[in-house]
Structure formats: C-alpha cells, structure tokens
C-alpha cells in the first residue's frame, strides 16, 4: 500500500512504510428528545465528518521525525492511498496526543499515532 500525506500549505510530504492502523468514527448530530405525551421528537442532522487515529509505520528515525514535524504544522493535510482510496481525505490534527513510539522489537522502526479530524477540502 502506498500512502502519501501532504501538508497543504507547504506541499511537504511523507510516505510511511505502512499504515498500521486506521480508526474512524462519525458522530451523529441527530437530537432525540422526550415529548410531554410520552412520544419522542427527533431533529435529524448529518453526521460529523470522520475523526479518529492514524497509526503510521516508518522504517527509520529520520523519516519518523520528519512525519512528526510535518504534523506539528498549523495547516491542513491530505492523505492519498493508492490501494484504499476510501480512506483519502483532507484533515487537521484532531484532539488528542500526537505520539511517536520506537518499536520495541526492531529498535529501528517507529510508529506515529496521529489524531485527525476530517475537514472539507
């Protein structure tokens, strides 16, 4: 799988060795409330855009820290995946921690966890 992440404002990009994890949720915006007669009232709204966590594998320290630095920018990012176009999106750094972890087995590979919030392109 070939995935490229690009910072929109600078066109700088990184290509992880592998996307280890892709978790996404879409929060409902429907409002359900109780009526005095015992029924329910519903206000329908489209769900929020995707949000979740990307886990990106890098085979060396240099590329891992380049990806970390890229995601520290105050910009939007595009994710393009040749094998899974359904995960393509434009996103910003979401709520939560941007974390970089050295793989304890290889001691050379690194995993970057990126919380994301999808936004309109």
The CATH number given to whatever domain includes residue 82 is 2.40.30
Q: Could you give the dihedral angle defined by the CA atoms of residues 38, 44, 45 and 46, in that order, rounded to the nearest 10 degrees? A: 120
Contact 78, 3 (CB under 8 A): no
Question: Domain containing 39: what range?
Answer: 3-118
Per-residue model confidence (pLDDT) at position 1 = 55
Average pLDDT for 83-91: 94
- In total, how many domains does the chain have? 1
Find the mean pLDDT for residues 6-16: 97
CA torsion through residues 92, 3, 17, 15, sign: negative
For 31-77, write each residue's pLDDT tens digit. 999 999 999 999 999 999 999 999 999 999 999 999 999 999 999 99
- The runs of H, that is alpha helices, within the chain are 61-71
Q: pTM value?
A: 0.86
């Amino acid at each position: 799988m070939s995935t490229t992440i690009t910072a929109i404002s600078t066109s700088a990009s990184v290509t992880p060795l592998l996307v280890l994890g892709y978790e996404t949720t879409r929060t409902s915006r429907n409002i359900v409330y109780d009526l005095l007669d015992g029924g329910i009232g519903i206000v329908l709204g489209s769900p929020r855009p995707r949000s979740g966590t990307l886990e990106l594998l890098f085979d060396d320290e240099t590329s891992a820290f380049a990806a970390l630095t890229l995601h520290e920018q105050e910009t939007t990012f595009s994710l393009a995946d040749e094998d899974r176009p359904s995960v393509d999106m434009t996103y910003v750094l979401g709520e939560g921690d941007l974390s970089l972890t050295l793989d304890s087995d290889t001691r050379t590979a690194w995993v970057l966890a990126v919380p994301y919030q999808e936004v309109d392109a």
